[in-house]
Amino acid sequence: QSWTVVPDFTHHAHSASLSAVAVNNRYVVTGSRDETIQIYDMKKKIEHGALLQHNGTITCLEFYGTAHLLSGAEDGLICIWNTKRWECLKSIKAHKGHVTSLSIHPSGKLALSVGTDKTLRTWNLVEGRSAFIKNLKQNAHIIKWSPDGERYVTVITNKVDIYKLDTASITGTITTEKRFSSLRFITDSILAIAGDDEIIRFYSCDSQKCLCEFKAHENRIKDIYSFEREGQHVIVTASSDGYIKMWNLDLNKIKDMPSLLCEVNTKARLTCLAVWLDQASEMKENSDKAATSSQANEDEKSSIVRKNKVCWTDKSDKTVKRKRKITPEKQKLEAPLQKKKKKWNSSA
């Protein structure tokens, strides 16, 4: 099986190089050395606006579901954004130095961040405050939760420390010769790691042993992304050589080199990578209009439920949750509109 790559949407919105990128089911956000975060609506293929809260390079961006975005920057701030109105719900002075990386727990209740002040900080996102501070011997530049939220990893230069959530202690360490540039959990226990070279390596979190390594590019790898589609694990790699490559990984044959699905030469010096999946068009391909319509309604309901699991100091979401339990179908739609009307009248 081979895939083809076709350019779909290009936009030059930043005045400096990109330093971070994140996606959810609708938006792509990019952070830059120009201190701005640009928003793109991928369903309409248009630029949606810019967020200007930070001073300094945007270092990390991460969505939680469809309702929230977290951003970190060289100014030491972590900002929590509501993605409906794109307003900053809370701005936290997270680190004395730069925020270098952040990661949100799958539950949405916790986040971890690391910075140039040699600390690893745990954040209570429900209350928007610091929960725990751990001092590190050196500055970590990557932090990442596993998909099940049972463990997390920190990257310090050429070393990956694996922590267990329940004990907050290191259970293993992976070390290579080169500095790590990117890391991705393929499963709860398998890590894909790229260093400042052309090699991708898969490691077991349990044994810390290298399961497979292969040369993926002609120059150093800047970022790795992965996603699952129809039971197929796809690894996407971006390199300083300008190439983006997609690989098919067979988890049952993890020791074998993944097969190349496609590659494209962007003729650009790539710095970061994310994959936006057009789930709506996939649904259209796989079902008729009636089925698509009912599925979309179900998706909308489930996304509202997901959004309301954590309030993150956004009180409006709590209200919607309460109304869902007691109001019939029509009023569910009317209630938020009435609420907005009230708000507009009072502000006028």
pLDDT of 329: 31
Treating both helix axes as pointing N-terminal to C-terminal, what angle do 289-307 and 315-326 enclose, rounded to 10 degrees? 120
In a 13 Å sphere around the CA of 1, the CA atoms on its Cβ side amount to 7
- Average pLDDT score, the chain: 82
Return d(Cα 114, Cα 139) in angstroms, integer. 8
- Dihedral of CA 290/296/299/301: which sign? negative
pLDDT of the residue at 259: 93
Answer yes or no: is pLDDT of 19 > 90: yes
What integer pLDDT is reported at residue 137 of this predicted model?
A: 93
Tokens of 294: 């009912």
Task: State the pLDDT at residue 127.
Answer: 87
Q: Which is nearest to 216 in space by CA: 261, 275, 266, 277?
A: 261
Per-residue pLDDT, averaged over 66-93, amounts to 94
The per-type count for the chain, helices as H runs and strands as E runs, is: 4, 24
Ranges of each domain in the chain: 18-216
Is residue 302 pLDDT above 70, yes or no? no
Name the pLDDT band for 292 (thresholds 50, 70, 90).
Answer: very low
pLDDT at 341: 34
Check residue 281 and give its pLDDT. 54
Higher pLDDT, 301 or 69: 69
Residue 301: phi and psi, rounded to 5, are -60, -50
237-251 average pLDDT score: 94
Please give the distance of CA 86 from its chain centroid, rounded to a whole number. Answer: 17
**pLDDT bracket for residue 233 (50, 70, 90):** very high
**Range 56-77 average pLDDT:** 95
Q: What is the pLDDT, as a whole number, of residue 8?
A: 84
For residue range 168-199, list pLDDT tens digits in order.
899 999 998 889 999 999 999 999 999 888 99
Task: Answer yes or no: pTM beyond 0.95.
Answer: no
Per-residue pLDDT, averaged over 149-155, amounts to 96
Which residues, 6 or more positions from 345, have their beta carbon under 8 angstroms from its beta carbon?
none
Average of pLDDT values for 255-267? 92
- Residue pair 124/113 in contact (Cβ under 8 Å)? The answer is no
pLDDT score for 347: 38
| Mean pLDDT for the stretch of residues 12-22 | 93
What is the structure's pLDDT at 282? 54
Which amino acid belongs to residue 62?
E
Architecture of domain 18-216: 7 Propeller (2.130)
DSSP state of 71: E
Q: 307 φ, ψ to 5°?
A: -60, -35
pLDDT above 50 for 36 = yes
pLDDT at 159: 95
Which run of H or of E encompasses 289? helix 289-307
